[in-house]
Amino acid sequence: MPGARRRRSTTVADHTRSRRTRSAAPHTVGPERYWGWHRLRADWAARLVTDAGYGPDDLVLDLGAGDGALTAPLAATGARVLAVELHPERVRRLRRRFAEQPRVTVLELDLLDLRLPSRPFSVLANPPWSLAKPLIAALTAPGTRLGRADLVLQRGLVGDLGRKGTAGTGSRRRYRAEYLTSVPRWAFSPAPPAPAAVLRLHR
């Protein structure tokens, strides 16, 4: 199971070593932890899943799954879904909600510690925006099996990456970065401080 056992292979954390070796500040589960919580409304989540077009042959990661806004419509496509969430109560709710769905696996894990699957996979996620850059670096690193990722992120960052047109570490930038669509603030509950957009990364 991806992420369940840590081999010394690529984890998202490998790309953020400097962050991780600082005291555990932004990722610690504890009273000082700030938990971003801008849930996608069901209609927008359904729209993003429809646009992505996944089906039973796909393995799709929902990183920062919350209470399953994207996990649920993804599961409805028949895809195999890996929902990663760190907040313990949200993990409990996810496990209850998807208990009867064997094609959904919920991992209680810092997404920066996730060992990426060794088989081809995709990502559809509305992750914590503070982790956008290390997450993109990890997903596009040499050797990952990522096929495509649609990430709901702060619009300014998506615009910058879309203009640049590529993403990836090292001299060979293997992924195209595309500004897929704008997402208005009212697509979330509560509304985030800045407007959002979907960044599509694909080989």
Ligand X SMILES: C[S@@+](CC[C@H](N)C(=O)[O-])C[C@H]1O[C@@H](n2cnc3c(N)ncnc32)[C@H](O)[C@@H]1O
In the complex, the residues that contact ligand X under the rule CB under 6 A are 27, 35-40, 64-66, 69-70, 84-87, 90, 110-112, 126-128
In this complex, which beta carbon is closest to ligand X, that of residue 8 or of residue 34? 34
The C-alpha atoms of residue 171 and residue 166 are separated, in whole angstroms, by 11
| Minimum gap (Å) between residue 181 Cβ and ligand X | 15
Residue pair 149/122 in contact (Cβ under 8 Å)? The answer is: yes
Instruction: Write the single-letter amino acid at 7.
Output: R
In this complex, which beta carbon is closest to ligand X, that of residue 37 or of residue 173? 37
Q: Is residue 135 marked as binding? A: no
Q: Is residue 110 marked as binding? A: yes
In this complex, which beta carbon is closest to ligand X, that of residue 176 or of residue 195? 195
| Minimum gap (Å) between residue 172 Cβ and ligand X | 28
Q: Is residue 68 marked as binding? A: no
Q: Is residue 51 marked as binding? A: no
| Minimum gap (Å) between residue 96 Cβ and ligand X | 15
Q: Is residue 107 marked as binding? A: no
| Minimum gap (Å) between residue 112 Cβ and ligand X | 6
In this complex, which beta carbon is closest to ligand X, that of residue 24 or of residue 163? 24
Q: Are strands 39-40 and 188-189 parallel, antiparallel or unpaired?
A: antiparallel
Residues making up the binding site: 38, 40, 64, 85, 110, 126
